Amino acid sequence: MKLAVFVSDYRLNVDTLDRLKAEKLGIILVQNGVYHATAKENGAASSLLNKSADFYALSDDLETRGLSAAVNSKVKVISYGDIVDLMFNEYDKNVWL
Amino acid sequence: MKLAVFVSDYRLNVDTLDRLKAEKLGIILVQNGVYHATAKENGAASSLLNKSADFYALSDDLETRGLSAAVNSKVKVISYGDIVDLMFNEYDKNVWL
Amino acid sequence: MGKLTIGCFSSLVGSMSLDFSVKLASAAIEKGHKVDFWVSGNATMLSIKGQRAFKDYSALMKPVQELMGKGLSITACEACAEARGYHKDNTIENFKRHSMDWYLASAFDADRVFHIGGE
Amino acid sequence: MGKLTIGCFSSLVGSMSLDFSVKLASAAIEKGHKVDFWVSGNATMLSIKGQRAFKDYSALMKPVQELMGKGLSITACEACAEARGYHKDNTIENFKRHSMDWYLASAFDADRVFHIGGE
Amino acid sequence: MATTKLGFIVQRTPYKSENTKLALTHAISSQSVEVYLNDGDLVTADIAFVGDGVLNCLKNQKAMEKYGLTSTESHIKNCLLLDLNVMVCKEDLDKFGLSENDIVMDAEEFGADMTVKVVPFSEITKMMEDVNHLLFF
Amino acid sequence: MATTKLGFIVQRTPYKSENTKLALTHAISSQSVEVYLNDGDLVTADIAFVGDGVLNCLKNQKAMEKYGLTSTESHIKNCLLLDLNVMVCKEDLDKFGLSENDIVMDAEEFGADMTVKVVPFSEITKMMEDVNHLLFF
């Protein structure tokens, strides 16, 4: 399964992500999920970024929140159009947490 | 300050409660907050119940969720009318987390 | 007897927060308190005429109208309502619409303010 | 080119989830994909006529109507809408209303289903 | 003649939003989807409760008595009545100290043959791999 | 002649729901509340950002450019322009590694005299004790 997981919040109230298994896993940070791409709490990056996955963050949502400057190097900044291409070309299923 | 704090969710996405200071603190569990009164995860009661406070849980919300049987002994089960009386007679400010 | 100002806000419609607020208002009125009820954000949905009662959905129009008959004063945030397509002509009768300062004015002489926010 | 079925659900109206869904639908249509859009729960607010555009609130009626002009098929859950007081006569023109099976039928021949739930 | 399989995953507690209810009512609507399809074409809906979602399955929910609202419990029974495949994650039940005695397991009183399946998470993973599309609630 | 003091506490990130925006627009409406009151009566609104809520205060929010929506940043500037007392919790800024350079501190371009106050949580506790009613967002 090639799975794209959309993370739309900073404080996740579900633990599903830790348990999902996929041959290929993409984590797409959108809405308040984009804080995972930038926030450093007590100096540490979000533990989400330790997962073995490809990481993306939506440019519009970073800019909306004033976060464009500090994106973690593991995370690729993408557009809405890029999300569409990822959905159709790179992954076969999408889930929204 | 005599403060009644309404906890309406099980997975709190704010840490405010740990930092609130009040001479008299009441924690009123409503909606999905009532799981704090009953759930035992890996055998342990909710850490919320370790706070130094008076605990209440709304009867209607326990019953709605099928939880009436297993309420922790620290927690007093109350009605909507009791909430009104607590608000007017026991506490001077209310907050909803 | 005192005055309770309840504000129910933001994104919890279709959730139980409005149900909770309405039941609490009812309990307070039963006990002889005066209740002002302010709905803002998505909670303004409470103000629209013609809500149909289904068992699968919270059906609050009737209980709210009954409480209005018992003296509940209830007001929707006008801008929040207009943004959602709720206009004066599709608002429940006697359901007031005001700008946000109404809520603060109600808080002025309230004995207790109960602001139900959250997400 | 493929078919994308988007479902936007539940309690995130007034949030950015509808904004997100509409922008994503737009990007998919730009790229030549067919898009079916299902709104359920509070997201059915998107279907009501006469939403006023304010800068302080997400104003999605106009972008949705533009996308409908470009071929977007959009449908509201009928029961979810009726429960909220959104009836046929106050629904945006060409905004469809069906029972929930419409969403599943749309998924039948979709290449991708993007279900935006959450809380 | 084709079948499209959908997997409904419920990961949150009931009654905060309409989330869980909409999951179950939409899954149930798979039973009437044929009106839109060609003869022989099907859409199936498997349902799995995971994480805090297993709390949806507790018995004796009084939502109707207290709030005039259909309970999640009765929606689950409807799913069984309509022969939907309903799974509950065993590890999560264990975590909450819950057993089959605490949760809805059947809808015998309505004549349903199907029962709820308490399964390890690995079974739910298999279902997620097997379906065409996933809907997380 | 009386004054009722309200404390607005913002504890969550912006743009998920209308939560933060409604906090600020309601606080701002304290400036027009006199139409409902007797001469000399007042309602005041103090605002404090705590926890994840401090992320509301970041500079350079492009909500208008990207989504056609007033940014939290500009709402905070409006608050300053209307002489509301705006506090941001220092410990929470520190936790996120943020300083006064990263957040909105003034609205000088609109001629506002007020500036944002970065204060320890204990100051916010004092405000909470001092006000008549608390509104948590």
Could you report the per-residue pLDDT of D62-113, keeping only the tens digit for each?
A: 999 999 999 999 999 999 999 999 999 999 999 999 999 999 999 999 999 9
Binning pLDDT at 50, 70 and 90, where does residue B59 land?
Answer: very high
Q: Which two tokens stand for residue F7?
A: 């404390």
Residue type, E107: A
Q: Cα separation of D97 and D107, whole Å? A: 16
Q: Which residues contact residue E59 at a Cβ distance below 8 angstroms, ignoring those fewer than 6 apart?
A: B66, E73, E102, E103, E104
Whether pLDDT at C7 is above 90: yes
Please tell me what DSSP assigns to residue C52: P
Average pLDDT over residues E68-76: 96
Tokens at F103, concatenated: 């957040």
CB contact under 8 A, D115 and E136: yes
> Does E136 reach chain B within 8 Å, measured CB to CB?
no
* Spatial CA neighbour of E127 closest among E54, E49, E34, E51: E49
Which residues in chain D are contacts of A81 at CB distance < 8 A?
27, 30-31
Residue C37, pLDDT score = 98
Higher pLDDT, D9 or D119: D9
Question: To which residue do tokens 């007034």 refer?
Answer: D14
Look over chain C and give the mean of its residue pLDDT values, rounded to a whole number: 94
Which segment of A23-37, C11-25, C61-75, E77-91 scores lowest on mean pLDDT? Answer: C11-25
Q: Are strands A24-29 and B24-29 parallel, antiparallel or unpaired?
A: unpaired
E15: which chain B residues are within 8 Å (Cβ-Cβ)?
A: 31-32, 61, 64-65
Spatial contact of E3 and E44, defined as CB atoms under 8 Å apart: yes
What stretch of H or E contains A94? strand A93-96
The pair of three-digit structure tokens given for residue F67, joined into one six-digit string: 């989504």
H-only helix segments in C1-119: 17-30, 61-69, 78-83, 101-108
What's residue D13's pLDDT? Answer: 61
For residue D33, the one-letter residue type is H
Is the pLDDT assigned to residue C96 strictly greater than 60?
A: yes
Contacts of E52 in chain A (CB under 8 A): 13-14
Give one DSSP letter per residue of E74-135, joined into a string: HHHHHHHHTT-EEEEEHHHHHHTT--TTTB--B-GGGT---B-EEE-HHHHHHHHHHSSEEE
- Ranges of H-type helices in A24-90: 35-38, 59-64, 80-85
pLDDT for D12? 57
Please report the pLDDT score of residue C16 as a whole number: 87
- Report d(CA A82, CA A88) in Å as an integer: 10
- Average of pLDDT values for A10-39? 95
Across the interface, whether the CB atoms of A31 and D20 are under 8 A apart is answered: yes
Q: Which two tokens stand for residue F81?
A: 């322009």
Q: Could you say which DSSP state residue B32 is in?
A: G
pLDDT of residue C12: 57
Domain boundaries, chain F: 3-136
Among F23, B51, E88, CA closest to C115: F23
Considering the domain B2-9+21-96 in this protein, what is its CATH number? 3.40.1260.10
Are C57 and E69 in contact (CB < 8 Å)?
yes
Give per-residue pLDDT as tens, A40-79.
Answer: 999 999 999 999 999 999 999 999 999 998 899 999 999 9
Element (H, E) at A44: strand A44-45
Q: What is the pLDDT of residues C17-60, one digit of tens each?
A: 999 999 999 999 999 999 999 999 999 999 999 999 999 988 99
Determine the Cα–Cα distance for residues D84 and F38; give it in Å rounded to an integer. 38
A71 within 8 A of A38, measured Cβ to Cβ: yes
Residue D10 confidence (pLDDT): 67
Q: Is B70 on the interface with E (CB under 8 A)?
A: no
Tokens of C98: 């005001």
User: What was the pLDDT predicted at F16?
Assistant: 85
Per domain, the residue ranges of chain A are: 2-9+21-96
Q: What fold does the segment set C3-49+57-117 form as a domain?
A: Hypothetical Protein Ychn; Chain: A, (3.40.1260)
Q: Share the mean pLDDT of chain F.
A: 96
CB E14 within 8 A of CB E20: yes
* Residue D69: count of CB within 10 angstroms of its CB: 9
> What is the per-residue pLDDT for F75?
97
Segment C87-102 mean pLDDT: 97
CATH 3.40.1260.10 fits F3-136, yes or no: yes
Helix (H) or strand (E) holding E67: helix E63-67
Q: Is the pLDDT of residue F17 over 90?
A: no
Rounded-to-integer distance, Cα E47 and Cα E76, Å: 10
Distance (Å) from the C-alpha of residue A18 to the closest C-alpha of chain F?
A: 23
Report whether B53 contacts B75 (CB < 8 A). no
Q: Nearest-CA neighbor of A12 among A2, A22, A1, A27?
A: A27
Whether the predicted pLDDT of A22 surpasses 60 = yes
Give the separation between CA A88 and CA D1, rounded to whole angstroms: 9
Residue C14 has pLDDT above 70, yes or no: no
**How far is the first Cα of chain F from the last one, in angstroms, to the nearest whole number?**
29
pLDDT band with cut points at 50, 70 and 90 for residue D119:
confident
State ipTM: 0.95
Residue D71: its pLDDT value, please? 97
Residue E59 pLDDT > 60: yes
